[in-house]
Each structure stands twice: as C-alpha cells, then as structure tokens.
C-alpha cells in the first residue's frame, strides 16, 4: 500500500520556486520525518498533502499527489473530506477557546454527527488515545486554555484523532514544548503509528532519529535524500545530508 505518493511536485509562491521536482512515496503505518534547515520547503510540502496552502493567493503547484491512489488536487475531491482523512497537528498548540470536551467534539459536530452517545464515546476514546484522558477526565468542561502547553498539544492530537483520519501530518509538534512534554508527545507518536501513517516535520534531528522509520532531507526546495532513518543518519549517501546531520550548517 502507498498511502501517499507525490510525483514531480513543483511549488511556487509568486515567482519564488519553493519546491523542486519532489518525488516521494510514504508507506503505511510508518513515521516519516521531514528534516532540513529553515526555508527548505519541508513545511510547505507537508501542507500540500492536505491542501492547507489553498488559502495562500500566490500558491501554485505542478505535479500530482495521490493519497490512497486518488489525486487529491482533482476537481472532484472535496477538500473537507480530504482533510478529515489527512489530519494535521500544528507547531504551536492551538486549541479553540472552548471547553476541553468541545475541542474534541468539534470535529464530530462539523461532520454532522449528532448522537450524544457517539460523541461522548469518541471524545473519551480520542483523549485516551492521546494519553490525556486521566489528566482531564474530571474537568472536561473546563476551558482548554487552562491546560499546560504539553497538555494542549495532546488535546490537539486528540481532536485530530476524533475525526478518524488515516494519515496525520505534524508540523514541528513539539518545538514549543518543554523536554518532558516533548518526550510524552514522542511516546505518543510511537504508539499512534500502529494505526496511522504519520508524517512529521522537525528541526530536531535527535527527535527524527528517535521516532521515525524513514527520513527525508530537504534542502533549498529539493528532496536531497530519502531513506530508512537508521541508514540516513549513520551512513548518508549525500554530502549535504551528512553536513546537515552532523551539524555543520542549518
């Protein structure tokens, strides 16, 4: 199975050519890390996978992206359905200014689920999956913003899980968190890959080597090297990859 397959992707912001001829296939139930220095295009590429760039006026794309064999930029595709299937967790925890419960229930409600039983059940399951249930089960009606940063990020993950995606995109999900919260998120990612395909953008190379199965190194809009994390980090084929992972630039 190939849940994500990108063919010959070129992305432009106005005249700025930010992604060049990206070809990549991402496997099911793996964690794939995108690494590279700031501005290398890794976040932009991540955001083309759930069409989050659609709102940027100057955005243009060439090439095709297939998810579960379907061209996601096809006119017949409903972007709302796509994003339900391809969830996203952002860099800064961004819970809604609503209660903890409502944050997780939001996705269900917008997709037309009305059954109270189903909503309660899914909220509980999602919070358990995100390893947050025990910390919040007695205060589900409290504002989400009263939680700590790490808890907020796990809440955002629970919220994403609630709409039952098959792929989860994470854009530096731990970069705004302290080391303990980061460790919890990493542990969580490790557990989630049993059921989900995870793509994570990270600046932290130790993090990439700890949690990912495969790593893609982006540099100046190009996909320089892509392979098994263990090989890429111990035996990079490309000189630039080696320079980056050994900390000579970036």
Q: Which residues bind another protein (CB under 8 A)?
A: 50, 52, 55, 80-84, 87-88, 90, 92, 94-98, 106-107, 109-111, 145, 156, 159-160, 163
Quote the least distance from Cβ 228 to another protein, whole Å: 29
**Based on CB atoms, which residue is closest to another protein, 50 or 215?**
50
**Based on CB atoms, which residue is closest to another protein, 83 or 184?**
83
User: What residues have CB less than 8 Å from 71, skipping those under 6 apart?
Assistant: 64, 65, 77
Using alpha carbons, select from 30, 25, 7 the residue that is nearest to residue 168: 30
**Based on CB atoms, which residue is closest to another protein, 78 or 248?**
78
Quote the least distance from Cβ 80 to another protein, whole Å: 4
Q: How is the chain split among helix, strand and coil, in percent rounded to 5?
A: 40, 25, 35
**Based on CB atoms, which residue is closest to another protein, 146 or 238?**
146
Tokens 């709302």, residue located: 80
Quote the least distance from Cβ 94 to another protein, whole Å: 4
Quote the least distance from Cβ 114 to another protein, whole Å: 15
DSSP 248: S
Per DSSP bridges, beta strands 59-67 and 70-71 are antiparallel
Tokens 């080696």, residue located: 242
């Amino acid at each position: 199975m190939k849940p994500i397959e990108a063919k010959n992707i070129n992305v432009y912001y106005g005249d700025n050519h930010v992604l060049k001829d990206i070809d990549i296939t991402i496997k099911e139930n793996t964690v794939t890390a995108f690494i590279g220095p700031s501005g290398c295009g890794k976040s932009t590429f991540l955001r083309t996978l759930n069409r989050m760039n659609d709102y940027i006026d100057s955005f243009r794309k060439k090439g095709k992206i297939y998810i579960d064999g379907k061209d996601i930029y096809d006119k017949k595709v409903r972007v709302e359905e796509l994003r339900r299937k391809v969830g996203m967790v952002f860099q800064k925890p961004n819970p809604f200014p609503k209660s903890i419960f409502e944050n997780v229930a939001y996705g269900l409600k917008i997709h037309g689920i009305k059954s109270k039983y189903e909503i309660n059940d899914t909220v509980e399951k999602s919070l358990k999956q995100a390893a947050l249930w025990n910390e919040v089960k007695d205060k589900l009606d409290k504002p989400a913003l009263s939680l700590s940063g790490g808890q907020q990020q796990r809440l955002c993950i629970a919220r994403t899980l609630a709409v039952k995606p098959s792929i989860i995109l994470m854009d530096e999900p731990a970069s705004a968190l302290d080391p303990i919260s980061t460790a919890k998120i990493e542990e969580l990612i490790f557990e989630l890959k049993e059921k989900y395909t995870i793509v994570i953008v990270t600046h932290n190379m130790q993090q990439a080597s700890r949690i990912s199965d495969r790593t893609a190194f982006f540099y100046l809009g190009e996909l320089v090297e892509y392979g098994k994390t263990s090989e890429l980090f111990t035996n990079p084929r490309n000189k630039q990859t080696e320079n980056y992972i050994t900390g000579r630039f970036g």
